[in-house]
Chains A and B, each alone.
Chain A
Amino acid sequence: MFHVWVYLQTSPLLGLCATLLAWQGACWLDGKVGHKAWSNPVILSIVALTALLLLTHTSYRSYFAGGRYIQFLLGPATVALAVPMYANLQTMKRNWLPILASVTAGSLVASLSAMTIAQWLGAPREVVISMGPKSVTTPIAMAIAQNLGGQPSLAAVFVLLTGVIGTIVAMIVFAAARIVDWRARGLAAGTAAHGLATARMLSINQTAGAFGGLALGLNGLLTSIFVPLLVRWLHF
């Protein structure tokens, strides 16, 4: 039995199957409890798999031998965001200036405040840099962090934390700041807390969901231009 285990640890099958099973289990549980903020399938899967690796003393490297096949699909999935963006092209054209201005402002404020606060509170450069792209979708954030000398896996964790926090606080913040326009709410969710908050907005209001999708694509583009410039000019 032991040699079977040793063999499997060197093959991608185990990591691949574990990830898919964890995901399906997490989705089942999420549906069962009625899509609560804490039952986000992404977080549940990560917690379950991390616990599994720690308990079985399996290294991340041997897990990732399988995990990377799933991660690879993030590239084509990012490209695929062009399809929902195209569907909103007319709305985009009509409101292009307010959209561009608000997403640019929100994107700069989110990146700059995250990096500044982290630096003030004594975080090392690697952590500060990895925090810059935290508001965009994981593949983009990881690529940006990697290019700037941050830690891609740390960036992925910050992206997730941002998404979960954004999903929980979004509606409370909108009420407190008197943001009542659904287009503005969607853009804000997509800009500040990417796909996780956008999915939540989509479940409440169609318009907000469409604007969220638009914002997350646009912010991905803006962040990959701005964060490297901010890091260079402000010497983070």
Chain B
Amino acid sequence: MVDAFSLLLLCQLAGTVISQAAGLPIPGAVLGLVLLLVVLIIRRGPSPALHSTASGLLKNLGLLFVPAGVGVVNELHVLRDNALAIAVAIPVSTILGLVVTGWVMQFMARGEA
């Protein structure tokens, strides 16, 4: 469990170092994801420990969103001042995103399952 967690943190650290050193706009954790994927391809799959640590973290992913979300307490006035823009932009863009992604995939991948 400790070695699996260390691997996750080391990938994030390496990703952050690369992102900062190269001045990339990509967050360190995302590069860390790519690095771990490369490690998994080389090693032909996760160890049982990595598998259980990763699924434990991902099963409670929602919890990890909570502290940032509580930050809304400092933004209540911004939400109130921009209520119309937010109430239109978020639903419309979300529906457009769903439709465009779904249509392109359905059209390009038709016929084969």
A-side interface residues toward B, CB under 8 Å?
15, 19-20, 22-23, 40-42, 45-46, 49-50, 53-54, 60, 63-64, 67-68, 70-71, 73-86, 89, 95, 97-99, 101-103, 105-107, 109-111, 113-115, 117-118, 120-124, 126-127, 131, 134-135, 137-140, 142-144, 147, 151-154, 156-162, 165-166, 169-170, 173-174, 177, 179-181, 183-185, 187-189, 191-193, 195-196, 215, 217, 220-221, 224-225, 228
A155 to chain B, nearest CB (A): 9
Residue pairs across A and B with CB atoms within 8 Å: the count is 335
B-side interface residues toward A, CB under 8 Å?
5, 8-9, 11-12, 15, 25-30, 32-37, 40-41, 45-46, 50-51, 53-55, 57-58, 61-75, 78-79, 82, 84-86, 88-106, 108-110
A121-B82, A228-B25 provided; 7 other pairs, C-beta below 8 A? A71-B68, A76-B5, A86-B40, A127-B85, A137-B61, A179-B103, A188-B105
A85 to chain B, nearest CB (A): 6
Q: Identify whether the interface residues of A are mostly helix, strand, loop, or mixed.
A: helix
A184 to chain B, nearest CB (A): 4
CB <8 Å contact, A68 and B72: no
CB <8 Å contact, B109 and A183: yes
CB <8 Å contact, B90 and A134: yes
A59 to chain B, nearest CB (A): 9
CB <8 Å contact, A158 and B86: yes
CB <8 Å contact, B86 and A76: no
Which B residues are in CB contact (< 8 Å) with A179?
99, 102-103, 106
CB <8 Å contact, A79 and B63: no
CB <8 Å contact, B11 and A121: no
Contact of A60 among B33, B53, B73, B106 (CB under 8 A): B73
Known A-B contacts A86-B45, A179-B99; A153 and B109 likewise in contact (beta carbons under 8 Å): no
Contact of B94 among A60, A115, A156, A166 (CB under 8 A): A166
Contact of B95 among A60, A99, A169 (CB under 8 A): A169
CB <8 Å contact, B69 and A156: yes
Which B residues are in CB contact (< 8 Å) with A49?
66, 70
CB <8 Å contact, A113 and B92: yes
Which A residues are in CB contact (< 8 Å) with B97?
106-107, 109-110, 113, 135, 188, 191-193
CB <8 Å contact, A118 and B29: no
CB <8 Å contact, B91 and A215: no
Which A residues are in CB contact (< 8 Å) with B40?
82-83, 86
Give the docked Cα–Cα distance between A123 and B93 (Å).
Answer: 15
Which B residues are in CB contact (< 8 Å) with A102?
100-105, 108
A117 to chain B, nearest CB (A): 4
